[in-house]
Amino acid sequence: MKDRSTVHRSLPHDSAHLHVQGRAQYTDDIPLPGGTLHAAVGWSQEAHARLKHLDLSQVRTAPGVVAVLTVDDIPGRNNHGPILADDPLMAEDTVEYVGQVLFTVVAETAGQARRAARLAKVDYESLEPVLQINDALDRSSEVVPPQTLVRGDPDEALAAGDQVLSGRFSIGGQDHFYLEGQVALALPGDDGDFVIHASTQHPSEVQHLVAEALGLQSKDVMVHCRRMGGAFGGKETQPALFACLAALAAYKTGRPVKLRLNRDDDMTVTGKRHPYQVDYRVAFNESGMIQGIDIRYSSDCGRSADLSGPVNARTIFHADNCYFLEHIRVESRRLKTHKASNTAFRGFGGPQGMVGIEHVMGDIARHLGLDPLEVRLRNLYGQDDRNVTPYGMTVEDNIAPEVIRRLSESSQYAVRRQAVAKFNQANPEIKKGLALTPVKFGISFTARHYNQAGALIHIYRDGSILLNHGGTEMGQGLFTKVAQVVAEVFQVGVDQIRCSATDTSKVPNTSATAASAGSDLNGMAAYNAARTLRDRLTCFAADRYGVPEDQIRYQNGMVQAGEHQLGFEELVDQAYLARVSLSSTGFYKTPKIDYDPNTLQGRPFYYFCYGAAVSEVAIDCLTGESRLLRVDILHDVGKSLNPALDLGQIEGGFIQGVGWLTCEELCWDDSGRLTTHAPSTYKIPTVTDWPEQFYVEIAAWSENSEATIYRSKAVGEPPFMLAISVFEAIKDAVSAAGPGRVQLDAPATPERILQAVASVRQ
C-alpha cells in the first residue's frame, strides 16, 4: 500500500534515506566541471587599522596560484551588506575586525589557495579598537541609531514603587556552528551569465548582491540551493560574501570557482549571535507584581549594520515575553565594535529580550523570598484586560496561562520544588535548582515586505508533480512539509511529488527562509498554486463528465466525478489532451500585519507561538560544574503539519539554547582576535548533555486562531527560548548556596557559576 499523503502526519524528512547513506548532495559535493579552480580568503590580523601596504607578491607566486584578487578587481559595487551598503567584500583602506577579508586567492587546489593566502605581507597602521560593549556605550559607537519604546509613565512608577531593584548582567554571543561551513560554487555561463550554487537561506539576496558586485542585472545570475547542512540564521546574510567572491573569481578567470571556508576561517570571518548587556530598574509590590520597569538592552553588533536593526527591534518586541508591563521603557542600543558583524541567529534578538525579563522575574522572587513561578504567574497577560503589549498589539490568543498550568501539573513542579529544597538542606556542596519559564514569540518578519512568498507547481502527464517554492531546506523539513500540503490538496501520495532545489529562476524575489515563517509562507503559496491547478482540473472534470464541480472529489490518488472514478494521473492526462494548463504559480502575503517601524506601534505579528519548560539542574559549589537533570516541555505549534518534524525543532532548538546559555563561550584575546574558532575550543552540546529524564509534549489541543496553513504554527525559533528555564534553574541553585544576591552572566560556564556561588556566600 502506497504511503498516502496527508498533513498532520509524522512523515520522515524527504531526504532522510539519503542523509543516512551520505548520498544527500550538499554544495561541496557537487561534481566539479573540468578546470574548476578553488579560492581562499586572506584576512586582516588586526581589529582596527589603516592598510598601509598590502604586499601580495609571494601569494601570487605560490604554487598553483592562478589569480589574486583585491578590491581593485571588483567591476561593480564593493558591498555585501543586506540593508546598508556598509560591508565591503574586500577591504579598501581600513580594516575593522580580525577576519575582515583583504584579498582572495584562486588556485588549482583548495590546499594551494589556503597555503598561499598565508603568505601575504600586510603593513598595518594600528588604530585603537573598540572591543567591549561599555567602551562602545561610552563613545556612542553605533552601527544604527538607538530606539526606545515607552508606555505609561515608567519614571513615575519607579519613583512611587513599593520596592525597587536594579541590576546589570551580560549575555554572551553564539556561533551558529552549522556542520556544513560556508561554501559557494560559481559557474560562468553563456553570454556573461552566472550560475551560483550556494549554501544559503536567502538565494535572492545572493543573486542581487552578486549581480551588483559584477555590475550585472539580476536576470544574469541564477542561484541554486538544494539543501544546507544547517544554517540557524548563519546563512541568511553571511553567504553573500563568499558567493560574491567566488563569482568575482569566476568572472576574472573565466573558469568555475569554488570557495569553501575551513572551520577556523568560517568562525573567524562570519558574524554570530549578538552579545548583550542588560541594565534594568524595576519597581514591584510585595507580591511581586511589577509596577514599572526601565530596561536597556545594549547589543554588540560588531563592525557593520548587517541585520542589527531588525534584530534589536525584535529584542524590544520580546522584552515583555508573556508579561503585562504597564509602565515600561525599553531602550535598545546597537553598538559598533571592531569584531565580526553580528547577524541573524535563531530567535533574532528575541532570546536576549526574554532572558532580560526572565532574569528580572527571578531577581524579584529571590528578593521577596517567593517562588519565581508565583511572580511569573502574577505578571502574565490577561485574557480580556491587561492584554495589550507595549507596542500596542492586543494579545488575542493568550494560551500562556493554560500552557503553564498544564505543564506545572504534568511536571509536578510544586512537589519537586520541595524535594529540591530538601536535597539542598542535606548537601552542602552540590545544590539543585528548578525553574519554569514561558515563551511567547511573535511570528512574521518585522520587515513587512518580507512576508510574501511564491511557489511554482507543474503537473506532468503521468500525474507526477514537481513543486518549487522560494523557501530553502536547511534541515528543518520545509520541503517535506510543503510537499505534504500539496499532496493534501491533490490527495496523492508524497512520493508522487518532488520538491526541487530552490532556484531564483523559478520563483523570483524570494524572502529569506527565516523568522520561523518558512512553512507559513511557502506552504500557503504552494497551497494556492495547488488550488489553482486543482480548480482547473475540477472545472475540466465537471465539464467532461457532466457533473457539477462540487461533485468532483479527490481521494487516495483517485478522482470521483459523480459516478465516474478515475486515477489522478488519468484525469491529468485527459486535461493535458484537452489543452488545460498544468502549471501554475501561487502567491501568498501575510494578512493583518501593520506597524510603524519608527514609533514601534501597531501589529508587527500575525500571531504568537507559546510554550513553557521546567528544568532541574545541579551545580557543584566547589568546581562550578553544572548538570541538567530533567526537562519537561509543553509547546504550542498549532495544529502541527508534521509532529515528528516539529518535535525535532522543539528538542533541537531547546538544546541549542542550552548550549548558548551554558557551555558555548566565545572568547577573544585583548587584540580582538577570536580564540574559540573551532570545535576543539568552542563547545556545543553533545549527546551526553541530553538528560535521561526529558519529557516533551506538543500541545495537541492548540489550534492557530489565525487562518494559517492548515491552522499550524511556526516552530523554528520559539523553542530555542525554552532553554531560558535552564539558566534560571542554575540561578535558583546558586541562590541555595548562600544568602547573597545572585549575579550570573551567560553563558553559565563552571567558572561563572563558581564566581556566582562565591558572591552569594560573601
Partner 1 sequence: MGQIMDDHIQFFLDGELQRVQVQDPTTTVLEYLREELGHTAVKEGCAEGDCGACTVVLAELHGQAYRLRSINACIQFLPTLDGKYVLTAEGLADAHSLHPVQQAMVDCHASQCGFCTPGFVMSLFALFKSDISPGRQDINHALSGNLCRCTGYRPIIDAARDMYRLADPQHADWRRVAGAPDPRQLLDSEQDLLRKLRHIRRSETLQLGDRYFSPVDEDELAALVEANPGATLLAGGTDVGLWVTKDYRELPRVIYLGNIPELQQITVDNEGMTIGAGANLTEALAMLVDEYPGFAEVSRRYASPPICNAGTLVGNVANGSPIGDSMPALMCLGTVLQLRQGSRQRELPLDRFYLGYQQTALEPGEYVSALRVPRAMPNCHFQSYKIGKRYDQDISGLCGAFRLQLSGGNVQTIDICFGGMAAVPQRAERAENALQGQPWSETSIRHGMAALEQDFEPISDLRATADYRRIVAGNLLLKFFADTQAGAKPNRVFDLDEALG
Give the residue numbers annotated as catalytic, written as ranges.
717
CB 284 within 8 Å of CB 291:
yes
Task: Say whether residue 115 binds partner 1 (CB under 8 A).
Answer: yes
Kindly identify the residues of this chain, within the stretch 477-516, that bind partner 1 according to CB under 8 A: 477
Kindly identify the residues of this chain, within the stretch 540-579, that bind partner 1 according to CB under 8 A: none
- Strands of 564-567's sheet in order across: 552-555, 558-561, 564-567
Pick between residue 264 and residue 326 the one whose CB is nearest to partner 1. 264
Pick between residue 254 and residue 428 the one whose CB is nearest to partner 1. 428
Pick between residue 13 and residue 639 the one whose CB is nearest to partner 1. 13
Site string for partner 1, 403-432 (x = CB under 8 A): ------------------------x-xx-x
**Residue 380 cell numbers, joined:** 502574565
Site string for partner 1, 178-217 (x = CB under 8 A): xxxx------------------------------------
Closest by CA position to 139, among listed 337, 383, 419: 337
Closest by CA position to 8, among listed 398, 480, 652: 480
**Minimum CB separation from partner 1 for residue 264, in Å?**
7
Closest by CA position to 487, among listed 2, 1, 4: 4
CB 702 within 8 Å of CB 423:
no
Kindly identify the residues of this chain, within the stretch 690-719, that bind partner 1 according to CB under 8 A: 690-694
**Minimum CB separation from partner 1 for residue 567, in Å?**
28
What Å distances lie between residue 553 and 368, 488, 489, 544, CA to CA?
Answer: 64, 12, 11, 14
Task: Say whether residue 663 binds partner 1 (CB under 8 A).
Answer: yes
Pick between residue 377 and residue 721 the one whose CB is nearest to partner 1. 721
**Residue 77 cell numbers, joined:** 559595487
**Minimum CB separation from partner 1 for residue 547, in Å?**
42
**Minimum CB separation from partner 1 for residue 647, in Å?**
8
Among 362, 433, 475, 718, binds partner 1 (CB under 8 A): 475
**Minimum CB separation from partner 1 for residue 77, in Å?**
32
**Residue 413 cell numbers, joined:** 513542579
Other beta carbons within 10 angstroms of residue 557's beta carbon come to 18
**Minimum CB separation from partner 1 for residue 625, in Å?**
5
Among 683, 711, 743, 759, binds partner 1 (CB under 8 A): 683
Can you give the three-state secondary structure of 283-297, one letter per residue? EECCCCCEEEEEEEE
Q: Which stretch binds partner 1 (CB under 8 A): 39-47, 455-463, 530-538, 682-690?
A: 682-690
Q: Which stretch binds partner 1 (CB under 8 A): 24-32, 185-193, 435-443, 563-571?
A: 24-32
> What gap in Å lies between CA 132 and CA 277, rounded to an integer?
10
Kindly identify the residues of this chain, within the stretch 336-365, that bind partner 1 according to CB under 8 A: none
> What gap in Å lies between CA 126 and CA 52, rounded to an integer?
10
Task: Say whether residue 670 binds partner 1 (CB under 8 A).
Answer: no
Kindly identify the residues of this chain, within the stretch 605-624, that bind partner 1 according to CB under 8 A: 618-620, 622-624
**Minimum CB separation from partner 1 for residue 226, in Å?**
11
Site string for partner 1, 245-264 (x = CB under 8 A): -----------------xxx
Task: Say whether residue 471 binds partner 1 (CB under 8 A).
Answer: no
Task: Say whether residue 114 binds partner 1 (CB under 8 A).
Answer: yes
Query: What length is written for the chain?
Result: 762
Pick between residue 188 and residue 648 the one whose CB is nearest to partner 1. 648
Kindly identify the residues of this chain, within the stretch 623-662, that bind partner 1 according to CB under 8 A: 623-629, 644-645, 647-648, 651-656
Residue type, 234: G
> What gap in Å lies between CA 660 and CA 230, rounded to an integer?
16
CB 496 within 8 Å of CB 463:
yes
Residue type, 316: I
**Minimum CB separation from partner 1 for residue 680, in Å?**
5
Task: Say whether residue 64 binds partner 1 (CB under 8 A).
Answer: no
**DSSP codes joined into one string, 712-747:** B---SSGGGGGGHHHHHHHHHHHHTT-SS----PBS
Torsional class of 105: left (φ above 0), alpha (ψ -120 to 50), beta (otherwise): beta
DSSP state, 739?
S
Task: Say whether residue 22 binds partner 1 (CB under 8 A).
Answer: yes
Pick between residue 385 and residue 692 the one whose CB is nearest to partner 1. 692
Q: Which stretch binds partner 1 (CB under 8 A): 40-48, 93-101, 469-477, 542-550?
A: 469-477
> What gap in Å lies between CA 150 and CA 133, rounded to an integer?
23
Q: If binding means CB under 8 A, how many residues of this protein chain bind partner 1?
A: 93
Peptide bond into 747 cis (omega under 30): yes
Pick between residue 107 and residue 222 the one whose CB is nearest to partner 1. 107
Half-sphere exposure of 87 (CA within 13 A, CB side): 31
**Minimum CB separation from partner 1 for residue 374, in Å?**
26
Q: What angle do CA 101, 231, 201 make, to 5 degrees?
A: 85
**Residue 727 cell numbers, joined:** 539558566
Half-sphere exposure of 367 (CA within 13 A, CB side): 22
Task: Say whether residue 58 binds partner 1 (CB under 8 A).
Answer: no
**Minimum CB separation from partner 1 for residue 412, in Å?**
17
Site string for partner 1, 158-177 (x = CB under 8 A): ------------------xx
Kindly identify the residues of this chain, within the stretch 212-251, that bind partner 1 according to CB under 8 A: 227-232
Closest by CA position to 477, among listed 238, 702, 650: 650
> What gap in Å lies between CA 640 and CA 646, rounded to an integer?
7
